[in-house]
Amino acid sequence: MMRVHRPLGIGSMLLCHPFSAYLVGSRAASGGRRQGDNNGSSSLEPSASTWRKPEPGRLKLNFDGSSKHGASRRASISGVYRDHEGGFVLGYAERIGTATSSVAELAALRRGLEVAVANGWRSVWVEGDAKTVVDVVRSRARVRAQEDLRLCGEIQALLPLLDDMSVSHVRRQGNPLAHGFAKLGHGAARPRVWRDVPADEVHRFLQRDAEGR
């Protein structure tokens, strides 16, 4: 698992090891590595193609950011929390105006971490289909654009508030529920949150993940 440790200055976070100072891999009590665990080493688990359940006692966040192609670059963010049985806990979606795809993905992750902190969820497995963003969290990539840097700083500030966070990459076909919520975000007049029961428009994706398809 990855655990939060003493924060460094934002300058160190952005220029050296963006998140590895906070997220340190360790093995689960059973002696094996938890799904999604990674400590920034060169030995990375392969990207999954289907959704996987978290362990009992943990919640899993799948996040997604969407930026329309073309001059408008209208963007939305979304995320969905599920429990160890695959049960829907919470989903969110909202428009964020004009943004690049990387800004949308980082903003989606930031909102998901804010949701965890607000609800007191301390053990979270985070998963997204934007490999660059996942690699930033794994300290294997850097960001340079000003807005990306700002969002990284805000994500960094949230990490000490979590006791146990792991991160993994999933291929796009394994992230349909978060993608469906992102589509809803484009049409949302205001930020939306669903608790316990997902939006009707994405229910089929929840069922598909539960069946492991």
How does pLDDT run across 52-104, given as a tens digit for each residue? 999 999 999 999 999 987 666 899 999 999 999 999 999 999 999 999 999 99
What's the DSSP call for residue 6? -
Q: Is residue 164 part of a domain?
A: yes
Q: Is residue 129 part of a domain?
A: yes
* Mean pLDDT, all residues of the chain: 80
Q: Is residue 3 part of a domain?
A: no
Closest residue by Cα to residue 44 from 54, 33, 55, 52: 33
Q: Is residue 45 part of a domain?
A: no
Q: What percent of the chain shows pLDDT beyond 70?
A: 75
Q: What percent of the chain shows pLDDT beyond 90?
A: 59
- Work out the average pLDDT over 132-153: 89
Kindly report the CATH number assigned to the domain that includes residue 187. 3.30.420.10
Q: Is residue 30 part of a domain?
A: no
**pLDDT tops 70 at residue 108:** yes
- First-to-last C-alpha distance (Å) of the chain: 26
Tokens of 129: 């289909």
Q: Each residue of 17-27: pLDDT tens digit?
A: 345 545 534 33
Q: Each residue of 118-133: pLDDT tens digit?
A: 999 999 999 999 999 9
The whole-angstrom separation of Cα 149 and Cα 137 is 13
Q: Is residue 64 part of a domain?
A: yes
- Considering its fold, how many domains does the chain have in total? 1
* Residue 192 domain boundaries: 59-211
Please name the amino acid found at residue 95.
R
In contact, 96 and 75? CB cutoff 8 Å: yes
- Work out the average pLDDT over 171-198: 91
Looking at residue 32, its pLDDT comes to 38
Looking at residue 199, its pLDDT comes to 81
Q: Is residue 32 part of a domain?
A: no
pTM: 0.80
Q: Is residue 85 part of a domain?
A: yes
Q: Report in angstroms the alpha-carbon separations of 170 from 72, 129, 156, 194.
A: 28, 5, 22, 23
